[in-house]
Amino acid sequence: MNYVWSFASSPSPLITLSTLPGNPHVAVIINSDPTYSGPIVLQLQLASTLPPGANCGTSPVYTYTLWAGRPKNPTISFTSGFGRQCKYLDRMIVNSPGADSVEWTVYRPLTGENWLILSSVNYQIFAGFEYGWYHVKARTYNSCGWSPFSATYQYQIIDCDTGDPGGRMASLAPNPAQNQVTVTVRSEIPIAQGGLDIRIKDMYGLEKIAVQSQTRETSLDISTLSVGIYIVYVQNGSKIEYLRLNVE
């Protein structure tokens, strides 16, 4: 089998294609600029050479796109637009061509808290923190190294039902917690006929714990959870509350 590699279009003069006739392997070489990054489109066509002297024709042209160099500078978007985010329902999404993973930096000016969150699932995280204003930026990574940081974006997490930065139906204690945490519904809020639906999810939205409760206070065993930040989802009839749990 003869393998014929070529560029799909005229490449940058900084790039060369290294291959031998009949070799299924190809190397793309960045000649002189270590900061180069961008997509490269290659074409491959196969031609049969067996038996010797036979002319069995050629295959269709196959096209492959690969990324050369570090990821491009990332940009961040929000599922409900910029400025105000519906708590835990909205997500922050990074776009960075060539990236394999993302490191998010989230800062809360009110308290001075700062979080680093690593993401490799669709490059997105929940807007899942306490109500208030936050700053977020991100940088991305592939085997060639880290991209520069994105611009810093400001956003406010608000109550999903009322549009206000408050309206708490339930609370967690202790928080941070280690082996057990208690969910408490405020005394003036009646428990719905079907009881409470309580779920704990990680920052990627993967469910870790799910329980049903008929009481105002519900203790949860969290000894199996790894250290990190989780989302506690509390549904009481038609009302839903999302709480941030810090497991130590």
**pLDDT tens, residue by residue, 155-183:** 777 765 544 445 567 888 998 999 999 99
- Residue range(s) of every CATH 2.60.40.1930 domain in the chain: 170-247
The one-character DSSP state at 58 is B
Q: Distance between CA atoms of 35 and 164, rounded to whole angstroms?
A: 45
The answer regarding whether domain 75-158 maps to CATH 2.60.40.10 reads yes
Sign of the four-CA dihedral 214, 216, 217, 220: positive
Between CA 134 and CA 142, with CA 140 as vertex, the angle to 5 degrees is 165
pLDDT at 113: 81
Which residue reads 């204690």 in tokens?
173
Q: What's the average model confidence in pLDDT over 214-218?
A: 93
- CATH of segment(s) 170-247: 2.60.40.1930
Separation in Å, CA 116 to CA 20, 48, 174, 240: 46, 53, 22, 27
- Residue range(s) of every CATH 2.60.40.10 domain in the chain: 75-158
Answer yes or no: is pLDDT of 237 > 80: yes
Give the pTM: 0.51
pLDDT at 144: 82
Which residue reads 């409470």 in tokens?
196
Band of pLDDT at residue 106, cut at 50, 70 and 90: confident
Between CA 169 and CA 203, with CA 82 as vertex, the angle to 5 degrees is 55
Q: Distance between CA atoms of 222 and 210, rounded to whole angstroms?
A: 11
